[in-house]
Amino acid sequence: MGADKPSVALRALERFYRTPLAEQLERHLGSAPADLAVELFHSAARDVPAYARFLQSAGFAPESVTSAADFTRVPVATKESYHRQHSLAALCRGGELAGSDMLAVSSGSTGEPAIWPRFVSDELGTAFRFEQVLRDAFAAHEKRTLALVCFALGSWVGGMYTTACLRHVAAKGYPLTLVTPGNQKAEILRVLRALGPSFEQVILCGYPPFLKDVIDAGRADGFDWHARPVKLVMAGEVFSEEWRSVVCDRLGAADPALVTASLYGTADGGVLANETPLSIAIRQQLAKAPALARELFGEARLPTLCQFDPLHRYFEAVNGDLLFSADGEVPLLRYKILDRGGMHGFDELTARLRDHGHDVASALQGQGIALRNLPFVHVFGRSSFALSFYGANVYPENIAVGIEQPALLEALSGKFVMQVVHDTDQNPTLDVAVELLPGTSASDALTADVAVSIQRELERLNSEFLNYAPAERRRPRVRLLPHADPDDFPVGVKHRYTRQ
């Protein structure tokens, strides 16, 4: 990019600031996203040295791709097979880092952290995702809004990327003010007490378990979460609708679809998709209809359900694995992010739900809530996080529903670690370590209640578990551990829900 950086940045910024959200979200209608993916493929094969070598090593000829059907033959890339095999410069257009203005570090949830070159223009497609949440769900275009970035700051991608995107939204004319306390609970509460009264609403941006920790810490410290509307923008983890309801109740919020939004984002590709009032309302209905959810999504767990702009991130599903293609300082083509999931057209999914008596879209329209004609993507997360128990896949999402019951969350943080352990006769037991809230103590009665709740929800949600696991083995062994236990719940690191 070199000397062109100012003109590239100015064009991208001007387009973001001048493009109304509705126009941006409707531009895919009547277009052919797959054809744009083909164009991106050819530009990357021509301009990105690492990608040209990747195709050459696979024996794949770029000129053989002339159609969307041909594109499905392009070799799949992963972090291990592509990103880690080449220098940072070779991954960039022109083979140099001069086109980047920032380097982001991934959290390394499945291995060593990775470095991702970025340029300001890369942020703007993601900034539209934030704008969609803030406008459609939170009405932040007409309310004085204070947003706190509660992700870790520093070189890690989440905090700085969120801050940059929200600043673009604010500069677009939204009455939005940012403050960046990071993941420091005491500082977050101090900022809320000092600045919250000057605004009509507050938005907390962070990982779901951490934001719940903040809410619980505030309650223990006498902070009044009901004093003004508090909204949550979350990323990084799948959570249950029971968890969402409990957190919203503690915030005094009546409608979770207009108070919360989860972003499907990665260090590799930025924000790929986002929850909307419609996708949340659909997920709430499916949480009460596990058989229909399994029919739609094919697994015994409820995925995150988001909507996405196919011209911003082009998704494919191959054998249940999600692939995406995206332009940027490091273009990615048919990139396998190791998440399981699938896609649904807007009309297709809403029609299937309507056929089963769930006309969610019409109900929201009747409330005057904006609906966007965007496709859906459902995301289960990494399949490696499941445990095998008597041949049944047991997912963290199944366990979470059992723990995230309102009565139990009066004593529990919601965090847990599950594993399968064996006795001296090699009989397996499902073992679940559960974190207590600060100031609460374990008891035999609470331990039993948690075990019963987990078993009940596993049997309700997971038909494999119900049919494969012997009845006498379905009750998990629950261990209630102190808050911030250093072995299972250390402070300051990304929490892992599964121990293999």
More confident residue, 427 or 382: 427
Q: For residue 96, how many other CB atoms are within 10 A of its CB? A: 14
* Type and span of the H or E element at 498: none
User: How does DSSP classify residue 242?
Assistant: H
Which pLDDT score is estimated for 109? Answer: 44
Average pLDDT over residues 58-83: 97
Tokens 């309507």 label which residue?
354
In sequence order, what DSSP letters do the residues of 38-71 get, joined into one string?
Answer: HHHHHHHHHH-HHHHHHHHHTT--GGG--SHHHH
104 pLDDT exceeds 90? Answer: no
Q: How many residues does the chain have?
A: 500
How far is C-alpha 475 from the chain's CA centre?
30
C-alpha 413/C-alpha 217 separation (Å) is 10
442 pLDDT exceeds 60? Answer: yes
Q: Can you tell me whether residue 227 is helix, strand or coil?
A: coil
C-alpha 76/C-alpha 83 separation (Å) is 12
C-alpha 25/C-alpha 19 separation (Å) is 10
C-alpha 85/C-alpha 232 separation (Å) is 38
pLDDT tens readout for residues 232-280: 999 877 788 998 998 999 999 989 999 999 999 887 888 999 999 999 9
User: How does DSSP classify residue 489?
Assistant: S
Q: Which two tokens stand for residue 127?
A: 């900034």
Least confident of 162-171, 373-382, 422-431, 481-490: 422-431
Beta bridge partners of 460: none
Which pLDDT score is estimated for 42? Answer: 98
- CB distance 299 to 386 below 8 Å: no
Average pLDDT over the chain reads 92
Domains contained in the chain, CATH given: 1-384 (3.40.50.12780), 387-481 (3.30.300.30)
C-alpha 452/C-alpha 422 separation (Å) is 21
Q: Going by C-beta distance under 8 Å and a sequence separation of 6 or more, which residues neighbour residue 425? A: none
Using only C-alpha atoms, the chain has a radius of gyration, in whole angstroms, of 23
204: exposed, middle or buried (C-beta count within 10 Å: 0-12, 13-18, 19+)? Answer: buried
69: exposed, middle or buried (C-beta count within 10 Å: 0-12, 13-18, 19+)? Answer: exposed
How far is C-alpha 328 from the chain's CA centre?
20
453 pLDDT exceeds 80? Answer: yes
Q: Going by C-beta distance under 8 Å and a sequence separation of 6 or more, which residues neighbour residue 96? A: 2, 89
Handedness of CA 156, 303, 495, 167 (dihedral sign): positive
Which pLDDT score is estimated for 243? Answer: 87
Of 367, 326, 366, 374, which is closest to residue 347 (Cα–Cα)?
374
> 251 φ, ψ to 5°?
-85, -5
More confident residue, 463 or 292: 292
Of 132, 414, 416, which is closest to residue 262 (Cα–Cα)?
132
Q: Going by C-beta distance under 8 Å and a sequence separation of 6 or more, which residues neighbour residue 210? A: 150, 183
107 pLDDT exceeds 60? Answer: no
- pTM of the complete model: 0.84
- CB distance 46 to 63 below 8 Å: no
C-alpha 155/C-alpha 136 separation (Å) is 31
C-alpha 440/C-alpha 452 separation (Å) is 20
pLDDT tens readout for residues 184-212: 999 999 999 999 999 999 999 998 878 98
- CB distance 415 to 495 below 8 Å: yes
Which pLDDT score is estimated for 491? Answer: 81
Which pLDDT score is estimated for 110? Answer: 42
C-alpha 498/C-alpha 110 separation (Å) is 12
* Type and span of the H or E element at 388: strand 387-389
290 pLDDT exceeds 60? Answer: yes
393 pLDDT exceeds 50? Answer: yes
> 384 φ, ψ to 5°?
-70, -10
Beta bridge partners of 315: 324
Parallel, antiparallel, or unpaired: how do β-strands 260-266 and 270-274 relate?
Answer: antiparallel
Q: Going by C-beta distance under 8 Å and a sequence separation of 6 or more, which residues neighbour residue 66? A: 38
Which pLDDT score is estimated for 190? Answer: 97
1 pLDDT exceeds 60? Answer: no
Q: Helix crossing, 241-251 with 277-287: angle to 10°? A: 120
pLDDT tens readout for residues 321-356: 999 999 999 999 999 988 899 999 999 999 999 999
105 pLDDT exceeds 90? Answer: no
Q: Can you tell me whether residue 479 is helix, strand or coil?
A: strand
pLDDT tens readout for residues 396-424: 989 999 999 999 999 999 999 999 998 87
C-alpha 387/C-alpha 436 separation (Å) is 23
pLDDT > 70: percent of the chain = 97
C-alpha 161/C-alpha 164 separation (Å) is 5
Q: Which two tokens stand for residue 220?
A: 């223990």
Q: Which two tokens stand for residue 238?
A: 């799948």
C-alpha 267/C-alpha 161 separation (Å) is 9
Which pLDDT score is estimated for 382? Answer: 62
How far CA 419 is from CA of 161, 299, 312, 399, in Å, comes to 34, 20, 38, 11
